[in-house]
Amino acid sequence: NASLKGRSFLAEKDFTEEEMLYFLDLAADLKAKKNSGIPHRYLEGKNIALLFEKTSTRTRCAFTVACTDLGAHPEYLGKGDIQLGKKESVEDTAKVLGRMFDGIEFRGFSHKTVESLAEHSGVPVWNGLTDLWHPTQTLADLLTIKEHVGHLKDVKLVYVGDGRNNVANSLLVGGSIAGMEVRICAPASLWPAQEVVDTAKKYSDRIMITSSVEEAVAGADVIYTDVWVSMGEEDKFAERIELLSPYQVNMQMIKATGNDNVIFLHCLPAFHDLETAYGREMHEKHGLKEMEVTDEVFLSKHSKVFDQAENRMHTIKAVIAATLGNME
Ligand code: CP
Ligand code: NVA
């Protein structure tokens, strides 16, 4: 698909349904190649910068392994490693990186930073999560849904929890582009911004935004949730726990779908395990044992979260190969 070459991936709306489906088909193909040990070094000799203002397990590892499998060199540039944001502007950093690297991944706070990198670097830029969108996550989610539900069209995807965060925004728009029926279930103060809803409505007339769990989950094919407090919002804990406790994904919610084959997805990391330092801290401070999802659901047959995590790598590989490589 020659039309993808040289393009950045900042948000789902940058691509058509056809292009998104192409990424998914390519990801499935690269996954099969990886699993059979067939080399796929489409980016031989390329250099890729991985910029991270926030921590990451999946996104960082997915980009690193994807680059390596494709024959490219990944260079991790963490917060505090480079001049960006302290001694040097985003624009100047973009111009310098663009002279040396063939592509740039960025994870950070402001969506404007990733837009500026794309504008000034002259090379493809991929959004590895900003305050507004998490588009490479959506691609992995769509691939996982395709694998487990069998198709994307008309799939009822219910996102429960913080309806205003990057993952909710991306699913609302990305799911709508893919022809799914997306329902956002959250307290009214955490509904997606009108601008995001308007963007999704360009693709779909079957969007539901509701505070009623009962209404949202009926007939669901997919129940999706994310953390109640995203990176950078740690001061909002008490308020979010208060607001979102009725939106916890538990077995009662899974049963209320009426669909025994409903799958559970979570972009991860998930708060369901007290054995982490974070878990113990939250337990001490807020008396919580579980937050957005119970252990029972997380470990159940419905949960496909680790397939989803693995698919980050295959889908990111597809995006960087298609926008940078020689796929012909
Ligand atoms: N889902 C996701 O983006 O995970 P990381 O924060 O670990 O990259
Ligand atoms: N909404 C979460 C997603 C983490 C992958 C955050 O921004 O922290």
CB-ligand 2 contact for 165 (6 Å cutoff): yes
Residue 182, strand partner residues: 157
Nearest listed ligand to the Cα of residue 267: 1
pLDDT in tens, 284-312: 888 887 899 999 999 999 999 999 999 99
Closest residue by Cα to residue 108 from 78, 65, 143, 137 = 78
CA distance 309 to 81: 27
136 in a known ligand binding site: yes
pLDDT of residue 63: 99
pTM higher than 0.80, yes or no?
A: yes
CATH numbers and ranges of domains, the chain: 2-133+312-324 (3.40.50.1370), 137-310 (3.40.50.1370)
pLDDT of residue 279: 80
Strands (E), 36-91: 47-52, 73-78
pLDDT of residue 328: 60
Going by CA atoms, what residue is nearest to atom 6 of ligand 2? 230
Going by CA atoms, what residue is nearest to atom 4 of ligand 1? 58
Decide if the complex's ipTM is over 0.85.
yes
CA distance 153 to 181: 8
Nearest listed ligand to the Cα of residue 166: 2
CA distance 227 to 278: 13
| 3-state SS assignment for residue 223 | strand
Helices (H), 188-236: 194-201, 213-217
CA distance 203 to 179: 8
**Per-residue confidence at 280, pLDDT binned at 50, 70, 90?**
confident
